[in-house]
Amino acid sequence: MKDNFLWGGAIAANQAEGAYLEDGKGLSVMDMVPMSEQRVKIKQGKISYKNCKQNDYFPTHKAIDFYHSYKEDLKLLSEMGFKCFRTSIAWTRIYPTGIEEKPNESGLQYYRDLFKECKKYGMEPLVTISHFDVPMYLVEKYGSWKNREMINFYLKYAKTLFEEFNGLVKYWITFNEINVILHNSFSGAGLLFNDEESVEQVKYQAAHHELVASALATKLAHEINENNQVGCMLAAGDYYPYSCNPEDVFLAMKKNRESYFFIDIQSNGEYPSYSKGIFEEKNIKLEIKEEDLNILRDNTVDFISLSYYTSRCVSAEQNKEENEANVMRSIKNPFIKASDWGWQIDPLGLRITLNTLYDRYRKPLFIVENGLGAKDIVQKNKIINDDYRIQYLKEHIQAVKDAIKDGVDVMGYLTWGCIDLVAASTGQMSKRYGFIYVDLDDYGVGTGQRIKKKSFDWYKKVIETNGEDLCLFPNYEN
C-alpha cells in the first residue's frame, strides 16, 4: 500500500445520526421509510410512503444517536488509527426543505464541529453530499429528480458546503451509489411514479439531472478550491455469466453496463455508445439541453469510489434460485457461500471488479464501503468474538492488495458501518457491520452503550502495519 493510503471507515447521516427533527432539520426520504414488510416496496417507489401504518417504527429517527455522541464515537474510531472517516451530510440539516435562500446555521455548525473533531485525530473527512437523503419537501412539491429544477437546489446546497467547509474537507462524493436510482428509486432519488408515467423514462431522465448536477458540483468544487477532489460512487460488484453459454455472457455484459452507464458518463464525460441501445429497448426519449453535453464532457470526476459487498450472477435461463445482492437481483452462485442475510461472499470478485474499473477508467479507485453484516453476540465480560467479520475483511483486504499488484491504483479502503448502525436494506440494527458494538435492538431499545469488538484491535493492527499484517492474532492463526 502507498504510504498515504487512506484506511478508515464509513457511515451515513441517515443511518447513524438520529435526532431527525432536531435543530431545525427537515424530513428526508429515509425518515419516511419504516421497518415493516412494506419497506422494500416503499424504497423502490412501488408503493408510496403514505401507505405506512400508524404504529410503524422508523429506524432513522433515532438511529445510534451519532448526532449527540459523535465526539465519543470519533474518539473511539481514532483509536484504531483511522486516516479517513466517511460520512454524509444530511441535506435537510442545511436546507430543511431544500428551497430556503439561507442555510440553517445550526446544521452548518454541527458539521463544522464534526469535521474539526476528525481533523483533531488526523482523520481526513470524506463527505458524501447526498446519501439517500432528498428533502421530502422537494419530493412532494417538485417530484424530486424528475424535475430539472433539482439541479439548482442541489447546486445551492453543494456550493454552501464547499464554501463553508473550504479547507476542512478535501474529498467529496456527489451521490452515494448513483446507480441505485434504477433499483431503489424512492430512497435513492426521491422518485415516486404515477400510473401515466413510464417508469423507465422517469428514472433515466432523473438520472440525467443527477449526472448534470454532479458534473456542475464537480466544477464548482474545483473553482472554490483547486485542491478539492471529487468522486463518483458506484454500487459495484460485477455480474458473472452463470455459464459459458454466450447468452449468459451477453446478459452479464448488459447487466454490467446498466451500472457502468453512470460511471462512463461521470468519468469519461459522455453518454456511452451502448446507451442508444438501452434507450431504444426501453423506449426512452431523454430531454437533454445542448449545454448539458458540454457540462458532462468538461467536468469529469477526479476519482472513482465504490461500495463492494458481493458479486452477482445472471443467467438467460429462468427459474434459477435468486438471492439478495445489495439492492440488485442476482442468481445464486453455487461456488460461493453467503452471509446470514444471503449476500454472497466473494473476495476475488473485489479483485475482479477493481481490475475492470481501472481498465475502463484509468482513474484512482477508492473503496468507500466494504464489510460483513452479521449478528453479533455479547458474551460475558462484554466480549464480542467477531472472527467471521475479521475473516471477511481480511480476505477482502488481501484482494485489494492483489489488485494493487495487478497494477490497479487504489487510494484507500474504508469499511462500511465502522460503528454499528441501521441497515439500509432492512432497517435492522441487528445486521451489524461495526468494529464497535452499539447496544440497541431493531426497535432502538437498549442502553446505546458502545463496546469494542475483537475486530477493533485487529483492524488497528492492519492500519498500523499499512495492511502488511492481516493475521487474526498471533495466538489465533498462522
Active site includes 369?
A: yes
Q: Does 431 bind ligand BG6 (CB under 6 A)?
A: yes
How many angstroms separate the CA atoms of 390 and 396, rounded?
Answer: 10
Q: To the nearest whole angstrom, how small is the minimum distance from the Cβ of residue 30 to ligand BG6?
A: 9
Residue 452 phi, psi (nearest 5)? -70, 135
Span between the terminal Cα atoms of the chain, in Å: 22
> Which of residues 1 and 89 has its CB atom nearest to ligand BG6 in the complex?
89
Out of 115, 416, 437, 459, point to the residue binding ligand BG6 (CB under 6 A): 416
Does residue number 12 form part of the binding site for ligand BG6 (CB under 6 A)? yes
Query: Among the candidate windows 201-209, 272-280, 311-319, 418-426, which touches ligand BG6 by CB under 6 A?
Result: 418-426
Among the residue ranges 45-53, 76-84, 224-232, 423-431, the one whose residues contact ligand BG6 (CB under 6 A): 423-431
> Which residues lie across from 135 on neighbouring strands?
28
Catalytic residue among 369, 395, 464, 468: 369
Dihedrals phi, psi of 323, to nearest 5 degrees: -150, 165
Give, as ranges, the residues between 114 and 153 that touch ligand BG6 (CB under 6 A). Answer: none
Work out whether 307 is an interface residue with ligand BG6 (CB under 6 A).
Answer: yes
With a CB cutoff of 8 Å and minimum separation 6, the contacts of 209 are 145, 146, 147, 148, 150, 151
**Which regions of 247-364 does DSSP assign to beta strands (E)?**
303-307, 312-314, 322-325, 328-331
| Region from 154-162, 211-219, 243-251, 417-425 binding ligand BG6, contact rule CB under 6 A | 417-425
CA quadruple 16, 141, 23, 20: dihedral sign: negative
φ, ψ of residue 151 in degrees (nearest 5): -60, -45
Q: Taking CB under 6 A as the rule, does residue 311 contact ligand BG6?
A: no
Please tell me whether residue 231 binds ligand BG6 under the rule CB under 6 A.
no
Q: Do 235 and 308 meet the contact criterion of CB atoms below 8 Å apart?
A: no
Identified binder of ligand BG6 from the candidate list 198, 385, 425, 466, rule CB under 6 A:
425
Number of residues that bind ligand BG6 (CB under 6 A): 14
- The answer to whether 335 and 317 have CB atoms below 8 angstroms apart is no
Residue 324 in contact with ligand BG6, rule: CB under 6 A: no
By beta-carbon proximity to ligand BG6, the closer residue of 39 and 452 is 39
From 192, 212, 235, 436, residue interacting with ligand BG6 (rule: CB under 6 A): 235
Active site residue 223: no
Number of H helices, E strands in the chain: 15, 14
Output the smallest distance, CB 307 to ligand BG6, in A: 5
**Smallest distance, Å, CB 60 to ligand BG6?**
11
In the bound state, the residue with its beta carbon closest to ligand BG6 is 425
Binding characters for ligand BG6, 358-377, by CB under 6 A (x = yes): -----------x---x----
CA-wise closest residue to 66 among 354, 473, 341, 418 = 418
Minimum CB–partner distance for residue 373 and ligand BG6 (Å) = 4
Q: Report if residue 392 touches ligand BG6, rule: CB under 6 A.
A: no
Q: Is 141 left (phi over 0), alpha (psi -120 to 50) or beta?
A: alpha
Q: Near ligand BG6 by CB under 6 A, which window of 29-37, 57-65, 298-306, 422-430?
A: 422-430
User: What SS3 class is residue 390?
Assistant: helix
Question: Distance (Å, rounded) from C-alpha 338 to C-alpha 313?
Answer: 13
Compare residues 9 and 143 and give the one whose CB is closer to ligand BG6.
Answer: 9
Supply the minimum distance, in Å, between the C-beta of residue 416 and ligand BG6.
Answer: 5
Least Cβ distance, residue 65 to ligand BG6 (angstroms):
17
423 vs 52, 58, 326, CA distance in Å?
19, 12, 11
Q: Which grid cell sits at 423?
A: 441497515
Q: Does 423 bind ligand BG6 (CB under 6 A)?
A: yes
Choose which of 38, 326, 344, 455 interacts with ligand BG6 (CB under 6 A).
326
DSSP string, 225-278: -TT-EEEEEEE--PEEESSS-HHHHHHHHHHHHHHHHHHHHHHHSS--TTHHHH
Amino acid (1-letter code) at residue 175? F
Catalytic residue among 124, 177, 210, 324, which?
177
How many of the other CB atoms lie within 10 Å of CB of 149? 17
Q: Which of 144, 160, 174, 176 binds ligand BG6 (CB under 6 A)?
A: 176
Q: Say whether residue 424 binds ligand BG6 (CB under 6 A).
A: yes
Residues that bind ligand BG6 (CB under 6 A): 12, 15, 176-177, 235, 307, 326, 369, 373, 416, 423-425, 431
Which amino acids are annotated catalytic? 177, 369
